[in-house]
Structure 1
Amino acid sequence: MSRRPCVGLTLDREPPGGFARSPWYALRCNYAEAVAAAGGVPLLLPHHPELAAEMLDRLDAVIVTGGAFDVDPALYGAERAAETRAIKPERTAFELALLRAALGRELPLLGICGGAQLLAVALGGGLIQHLPGHEGIPAERAAHPVRIAPATRLAAIVGADDIMVNSTHHQAIGAVPPGLVVNARAADGVVEGVEMPGRVFRLGVQWHPEYRIGTADQALLAALVEAARR
C-alpha cells in the first residue's frame, strides 16, 4: 500500500449545551495528531450503527477511543454499582456495532481505555465497575508501571518487560472472555492490556497511548498503522 492508511476514530457524543444547542460530537485533538504522526490518515466516525459495515469498507484500521462515561453494566449481565458514571447508549451501540463488524473481517483494531473494555464486553467478558485510586494524575504524565506478558504481540511491539503508562480510568476488564489474552497487568493485578492471538492486529490497552508519554506509546500506534498497510 503506497498511500497512507485510513484509520477510523470513534467520537464522543455530548448533549445540547455548551458548544451547541443540539447534540454534538467531540474528540481530543491528540487522538488524530497521534495517528497522523504515526503515518495514518485519521478519519472521525459519527454514531450510525446501521452504517458501521460500510464505514469499515472505507477504512484500513479502527481505534475505539476512551471517554468519561461507562459501559452499561446490563450489557455484561451486572447490576449498576453506586460508583458507575453516566452511560452513553448511542455511542456504545455504535461502537459495539463497529467492533462486531470489524471482528468479522481482517481489519486492525485498537481499543483505548473504554475501547479496550468494550472489546472485552463485545466478546462476552465483564468489567470491574470501580477502581479507587486510578485517576487524578494528569494523562500527560506517567502514573505507574505495567508488566508486559512475554511472547505476546504487545511485547514484540514495545520490546520491554515493563513500561510506564498514564492512568485516567476508574473501570477495568474483570472477566476476560475466551479469545482474549491478557498481555499487560499493573502491579496490583489490574488488567492493563489484552489482545486476540492471530495474524490480525487486535489489541486493547487500558492507558491512553495518544498522549505519547514514552517510546512504547509511539511504537504501539506505529504498529497499528503498519498493520493497516498490509
Structure 2
Amino acid sequence: MKRPVIGLTLDAEPAGGWSKLPWYALRQNYFSAIVAAGGLPVALPHAPELAAEYLDMIDGLLVTGGAFDVDPALWGNEKPHPKVTLKPGRTDFELAVTRRALERDAPILGICGGQQLLAVALGATLIQHIPDELPSDIPHEQPNPRTEPGHEVNIAPGTLLARVTGRTRMAVNSAHHQAVKAVGPGLAVNATAPDGLIEGIEATGHRFALGVQWHPEYAVDPADPLILRAFVEACA
C-alpha cells in the first residue's frame, strides 16, 4: 500500500549556533516515528501563503513541539509573560496551515506546543506559565530525560484518545511551561494530569484532530505508538 504523506512543521532558529544564517530544526525521532507508524514524512518550511498548496500534497498534518510559545495576542488580551518565547514566523505558518487543514477536515495531530497551537486555532485559551497560574508538585518540565516518563495522565472515557489507546491512564514525558487553560465549543479535554492540568484535547466535529501535551514520538509508554499509528491510518 502507498504510505500516506504526513507534513511535519519545523522549528526555526535565528542565525548562530549550528548555522551563521537562520535555520530550521526538527528531531529525527519525529520522522522515524512517523515512518514506523506507516507514514511518509515530509518537512514543511514556513510559508503561510503556500498553506493550501502544501495541503494539496499531503494527507495529514503533524504540528510539532519546539522552543516556542503561541502569542497571547492570538487568544486573549494578556501581555506576554517574561518566560514566553515568541516565534511569529513559525506561528503564522502553523496557524495558517492548521486552519486550512481544519477547513478541509484533514487529519491533524498536535504534539506539545503543537497541541497548544491546535487548541488556539479551535478557540481555546492558554496558561502562559504553569508555575505562576497552577503551582503543583508535578514537574511539568521534568528534570529527568525525555526518554523517561515524568508523570501519568488520566484519559477521559469515550474520547478519541481513549479509543485509540484503549487505556484509562498513561505514563508520559513532560517538557512544557504552558498548557491549555479552557476549551471552547467543539473541543473536548481527553487527558488530564493528576493536578488537573489539561494534557490532551480533540475536536469533536472533525474526523481526526487530536492534541497531546506530551511527546509520543519518544514511545515512553506502550500506548504512544498507537497514537501515531491511528493518526497515520486516518490519513490513508
Q: TM-score, normalised by structure 2?
A: 0.93
Alpha-carbon shift at residue 198 of structure 1 (Å): 4.2
Is 2:122 the counterpart of 1:143? no
Aligned equivalent of 2:140? 134
Q: Give runs of ≥4 in structure 1 deviating > 6 Å.
A: none
CA distance in 2, matches of 1:80, 1:207: 26
Question: Where do 5+ consecutive residues of structure 2 fail to align?
Answer: 132-138
Contact 1:15–1:22 (Cα < 8 Å) also in 2:
yes
Is 2:192 the counterpart of 1:185? yes
Aligned equivalent of 1:216? 223
Query: What is the 5 A alignment of 1:1-230?
Result: 2-132=1-131, 133-135=139-141, 136-198=143-205, 200-229=207-236
Question: Where do 5+ consecutive residues of structure 1 fail to align?
Answer: none
Report the aligned-residue RMSD. 1.2
Does the residue aligned with 1:174 lie in a helix, a strand or coil? strand
C-alpha distance after superposition, 1:20-73 (max 9, x if no partner): 221110001110010001110010000000000110111011100001221111
CA distance in 2, matches of 1:9, 1:219: 18
Percent same amino acid at aligned positions? 59
CA distance in 2, matches of 1:22, 1:8: 24
Q: TM-score, normalised by structure 1?
A: 0.96
Letter in structure 1 aligned against 2:193: A
CA distance in 2, matches of 1:106, 1:62: 11
Alpha-carbon shift at residue 131 of structure 1 (Å): 1.5
CA distance in 2, matches of 1:90, 1:217: 30
